[in-house]
Amino acid sequence: MTEAFIIWLTHLGYKCVVSAGGAQFYNSATGKGFPRNVMIMANGRLNKAATELFEEFKKYDPFGEVAA
């Protein structure tokens, strides 16, 4: 699920920077729909911005679009 979430973030336009602390995602777009400082920490935990986007990601059903 995490790999799919990362692919989804990059599809939205986020750029990833990987460090020892985890993966941090940046986006040039601004606004409520594109939170800043999205981070997946090295232990797998998500920060607040990443959690908000993950809740949005869980609503997204790409296989439902293909099957229909």
Domain boundaries, the chain: 2-61
pLDDT at res. 17: 94
Contact 39, 49 (CB under 8 A): yes
Chain segment 29-48, per-residue pLDDT in tens: 877 778 888 999 999 999 99
Which residue is listed with tokens 């939205």? Answer: 12
DSSP strand pairing (22-26 vs 38-41): antiparallel
> What parts of the chain have a pLDDT lower than 50?
66-68
pLDDT at res. 15: 94
